[in-house]
Amino acid sequence: MIIVGVIIFYELWLLETDKAKMVFRPSGQFDPLGLETMLPAPQTSYTLLGLEPFTQYQLQVVAENALGKTASEFATGRTAEDGTLMMLASLMYLN
């Protein structure tokens, strides 16, 4: 049985000067069936360090399920004075 709607793997991309750069790719793979033979589950969160204060960034999520990969649109966020970037999860949806 293949469960197609479950995301088993994902990547996070940062757009810099019209060029996308992968900034996070977890090791492991989600196991929708709970089998012990699969790789360990990947991280489900990531902290992007080294961001500049008051700067606009664009991020994209690429996700994979049993049918293949798909990518979200690039979502835009702006850092605060301390360099933290706040983006609503609803902005990072997949097509």
Q: Quick one: which H or E segment has residue 65?
A: strand 56-65
79: domain CATH number? 2.60.40
More confident residue, 57 or 94: 57
Q: How far apart are CA 32 and CA 17, in angstroms?
A: 37
Q: What is the pLDDT of residue 59?
A: 92
Residue 61 domain flag: yes
Q: What is the mean pLDDT of residues 62-83?
A: 86
For residue 8, give the nearest of 45, 41, 46 by alpha carbon.
41
Model-level pTM? 0.68
What type of residue is 10? Y
Q: How far is the C-alpha of 32 from the C-alpha of 79, rounded, in Å?
A: 35
81 in a domain, yes or no?
A: yes
Structural domain of 79: 9-41+48-91
